[in-house]
Each structure stands twice: as C-alpha cells, then as structure tokens.
Structure 1
C-alpha cells in the first residue's frame, strides 16, 4: 500500500511541477512505474478525473494564480507557457472552469482569489489534494482486501461459442442472441453453465461505443464452423491472474484496476492476449444485483 501511495503522489507532483511541458500518458506512466496501458484507469479511479482533464484543470488553476497575483505578466505569455494554442482556446477553457473570462478574473480584486483557488504551498502543491488522493488509494486497497480474492492460476484451454459486440451498450443484446442460439442446441440452460466476456479492445484507445467485446458461452468441445453471427473462439491454456468475488456491475471497474495494481506490484507482465470475465451466476437472479465473477488477466 505504501508503495502505491508513493507512486501516485510521484505522478501527481510531476504533473503539477511540469505543466509547461508536454505531458504525455507514456511519460507520466513511466514516472509512476506503471504500464501506460493500465495507468489511465488507475489514475481516473484514484483522482476521479481522466489524466487529460486533470492536466487541463491544473493548467487553468495555475493560470488563474498568475492572473490574480502576477499582474506584470502578459496574458499571452501565461497561456502560451501553459501550452494553449490561442487566446480563444484559453479563454473558452478558463470560462468553462471558473464561469468568468480570464480578463474579468484578472480585473477582480486579488483578495477574492482565495474564494476560488486554494493557496498553494511553496512548491505549488495543495496538501489537501494529496491527502484526498492517498485516501482514495487506501480505500481501494482496503476494498480489494475485503472483496477480491486474487490468485495466480494455470487455467485450461477454453472452447467458446461467441457473438461479437461493437460498443458496450450492445453486449446484452449479443448475449441474448447467443442464448437463443444455445437454447436451440440444448446448451442453455444447463447446470454450471459459464458465460464469458472477452475484451478484444482497450478502453484506453477505443471509444466505448466502438470497443469490441465478445459475448461467449463455455463449451465442452470446440465448435465446428458456424454460419451466422455465432462463431468459434478459443482461450489458450496458461498462467492468469484471477480476481474472484461477488460484485455488482458498478464494482467491475474497481476490480479491474485492483488487478492491474496487483499485477504491477507483484512484477507480472500482461501477455499479448485478451483479458476476460467468467460469470458463475446471473446478477438478475440476485436481490442486490450481485454476481459471482472471475476477472482474468493473461500473464507471464
């Protein structure tokens, strides 16, 4: 836990101390010793903001500080130094954040500044912000210990019947199609049936309405070639980090982030394969909307 606190604080301090530079996801993830593939999810869960939104907000807050207390610096120099391409872009972003144009903000009395922006310490940090983020890390790790059982397992090869979904909103209809197909072949319902979601795209690089998720049912043997929307898919046997527990759909993001943190902390690397979820129960059958799930990351 202490290690994650140090790494998250390190990335936040780096951002706040280098707002005038090019702050790429890859660079900041490297500073925190996280994989850039997973860091955006970890950062958003802990701070409540995407990395890009956090950077823009901190740039606007720093510009407000300069506008209020450094009247000798030209506005153009302020927004250029912070990477805004033009006055119109800067003004629009500033007004969206504070509800007032930067020129009007500068003309207001400096003594009102503290009502909008917290007084910064000598190194430009706001201590209460770090306390808040540390609390989020601790809460996540405590939640993980209480709710998510994490193990490294050797999983067997899994033969699946799959239906592709383009976009998160189409996953349920894809499962409905798959279940209707399975019913006709007496593969559903049956005892201990397992439904699986395989993620073929990352939400980091693909929009939620375009991400490719396969709705799958586990079969006893490989499916022969099918005509239509149902096709054969195989998950290779191998080593996996498996996080297990009973969760609501709202818990899924925390589960994945917790597994990525655990993977980094224990020095595993993700294979060039697809993570997936195995469902052992249906949330629709639970009074609180909970389901028993295994979250699986292929590693070496």
Structure 2
C-alpha cells in the first residue's frame, strides 16, 4: 500500500500542477506508472473519489478561491485558465458544487469574511451556505493588531522535504512520517529546525477531510528524488504578507481570516502561489498549548 500511495502522490501533484491542461486518464496513469484500468481503481481506493470527480472538484475549488481573493481578475479569465470551454459549462458545474452562480459567490465572499460550511438538507443533498463569523470586521482587525505582527517582506527560496496529507486529521501522522525519515537521514533534531505546512487547498472552498496540506521540513539544499512518501517541494522567493504571533491551534483559523482581511484592506492581491505556516516552537511544549507561528500569504 505504501508504494501505491507514493505513486498516487505523484499523480495528485501532476494533476494540481496542470489543472489548465488536458488531464486524460492515460496521461495521469502514465505519470503514476499504472495501466489506465488499475490506476482508476487504486486512485479511488486511496482518495475516496473517482479521478474525474477529483479533477472537476479541484478545478471548481481553485476557481472559487480565485473568485474570493482575486477580485481584480475577470470570471472569464478564471474559468478559461482552468480549462472550462465557456461560461455556461463553468456556471453549471460551479452551481453543482456551491449552489450559486460564480458571480453571486464572488459578491458574497470574502470582504465581509463569510466562510463556507456544508450542511445536510432535508432531502439529503449537500447545500452550501455562508455563515458569518462571530467577530465583525472591526473586532477582527483589533484582534489582529493585538495578536499578530504583520509585515510585507521578501522571503528567499525555500527547499523542503514534504509528506502529503489528505484531510486535516492526517496532518500529524504526516509529520510523524517526515520526522522518522529525517531521523534516518540524521537531519533531526538540529538547531534552527523549521517545520512548515503548505496549504494546497483552502478550508473556505474544500471540505476539511479533503483539504490537501503538505507537512514539510526546511532543508539546506534541494531533495534530489522522492524517498518513500517524502518528496521535494520548493517555495519560490517573492513578496509575502507575514503575520507572526504566539497562538493556540484553535486560533489558527482566526489568524488566517484576519490576515486575508488585512490583505484586502491594504489593497494587496494574492499571487498564484501557495500560503503556508512556519513553526518556530512546539505547542506540546507550552503550558497553554501555544506556539510561535508565521502565517504567510504570497502577494503582488
């Protein structure tokens, strides 16, 4: 099963890097070194959904994220960039997942900072609703000023060793795999060790059990090849909004929400890159369960 997971990780990375391309079953199966027949069955076994559903969901979730945080980008540009042939096809598919048209979704998110939650309706169908955060914008900005030091700065390229987590519940086991690998490579423990979580999905548009998070460790140089479930990942150098503070795990969501709000209030726009967290301490070693974290958003 470990070998199957390793191959499926390669396939998922390929899909997510080529959402605007022709993602045929044959090409993806070839990437994972399976026959088309066996790949389709194993992909569903490991991820819990068919390849077709996964690709469609990823395209729509990516479009929803861009609609929410890249207000200056036209809807047509977004759906064409993700491979939808026309507005009618895109709108119909989007409504299937979120229950409303893309334009209505954009107007509802995120300047008033609503979050998307999934509820079961009486007929058993999943509806998408927007529930407002308890804190209003003013209170949230006040909380931010008290709890996070926010800066806009250039960060260097970061070479990482990564383990993929499918679902929030699997993040800690992924870090366990990563640390065990690091011990074998005599990379752990060491001074100035930095663990980093890279978010390949947003909790605003992806159910928590399907969010893809990479549990990562900062390396001195690039990892040359995949070793078991550990693979190479790179965060490119660039401009980032960073919010730094000592917070509990329960406050992470509030930190991200407030940081995106700060981004909008100060007229920055997000680059087509991935947000991430850098950990400077371990919450398990703090009497109040707090940890020092940098929350980082790539911006223009």
Distance in 1 between the 2:230 and 2:142 partners? 41
Do 1:174 and 1:215's aligned partners in 2 also have CA atoms closer than 8 Å? Answer: yes
Q: Give the equivalent residue in structure 1 for 2:163.
A: 163
Decide which structure has the larger Cα Rg and report it: 1
Contact 2:151–2:241, Cα closer than 8 Å, also in 1: yes
> Considering only aligned residues, what root-mean-square deviation do their CA atoms show, in Å?
2.8
CA–CA distance in 2 between the matches of 1:238 and 1:27? 32
Deviations for 1:248-300, whole angstroms, at most 9, x for unmatched residues? 00010010001110111111111111100000000001000000000001110
Matched, 1:30 2:101: no
Cα distance in 2 for partners of 1:227, 1:144 equals 40
Larger helix proportion of the pair: 1
Corresponding residue for 2:65? none
Tell me the TM-score normalized by structure 1.
0.59
Residue aligning to 2:193 = 193
Aligned counterpart in structure 2 of residue 43 of structure 1, from 88, 110, 114: 114
Q: Is the 8 A contact 1:163 1:174 kept in 2?
A: yes
Which 5+ residue runs of structure 2 have no aligned equivalent?
Answer: 1-98
CA contact (8 A) 2:111 2:261 kept: no
Q: CA deviation at 1:210?
A: 1.2
Q: 1:52 to 1:216 in 2, by over 3 A?
A: closer
**Could you say what secondary structure the match of 1:160 adopts?**
strand
Q: 1:192 to 1:52 in 2, by over 3 A?
A: closer
Tell me if structure 2 keeps the 8 A contact 1:243–1:294. Answer: yes
CA gap 1:51/1:203 in 2 versus in 1, 3 angstroms: closer
CA distance in 1, matches of 2:106, 2:296: 23
Give per-residue Cα distances to partners, 1:212-240, cap 9 Å, x unaligned.
10000000111110331000110000000
Instruction: Call closer, same or farther: CA 1:267–1:283 in 2, change over 3 Å.
Output: same
Matches within 5 A, 1:88-127: none
2:196–2:216: 8 Å Cα contact kept in structure 1? Answer: yes
Q: What's the TM-score, normalizing by structure 2?
A: 0.59
Report the 3-state secondary structure (helix = DSSP H, G, I; strand = E; otherwise coil) of the residue aligned with 1:170. helix
Compute the displacement of 1:205 (Å). Answer: 3.1
Q: State the SS of the aligned residue for 2:278.
A: strand
Q: In 2, distance between residues paired with 1:162 and 1:185?
A: 14
Distance 1:25 1:290, change over 3 A: farther
Question: Is it true that 1:174 corresponds to 2:174 in the alignment?
Answer: yes
In the TM superposition, what is the alpha-carbon distance from 1:203 to its structure 2 partner? 2.1
Question: Partners in 2 of 1:240 and 1:141 — Cα distance?
Answer: 19
CA distance in structure 2 between the partners assigned to 1:136 and 1:205 by the alignment = 21
Q: Could you list the per-position Cα deviations for residues 8-58 of structure 1 after superposition, in whole angstroms to 9, with x for gaps in the alignment?
A: xxxxxxxxxxxxxx9656425437xxxx4x568x214xxxxx4787xx9xx
Q: Secondary structure at the match of 1:257?
A: helix
What residue ranges of structure 1 are gaps of 5+ in the alignment? 1-21, 45-49, 57-83, 94-129
How big is each residue's C-alpha offset from its partner over 1:67-117, in whole Å with a ceiling of 9 and x where there is no partner? Answer: xxxxxxxxxxxxxxxxx9xxx86xxx9xxxxxxxxxxxxxxxxxxxxxxxx
- CA distance in structure 1 between the partners assigned to 2:279 and 2:244 by the alignment: 10
Query: What does residue 229 of structure 2 align with?
Result: 229
The size of the alignment, in residue pairs, is 195
Q: 2: distance between equivalents of 1:186 and 1:281? A: 20
Deviation of 1:153 (Å): 0.8
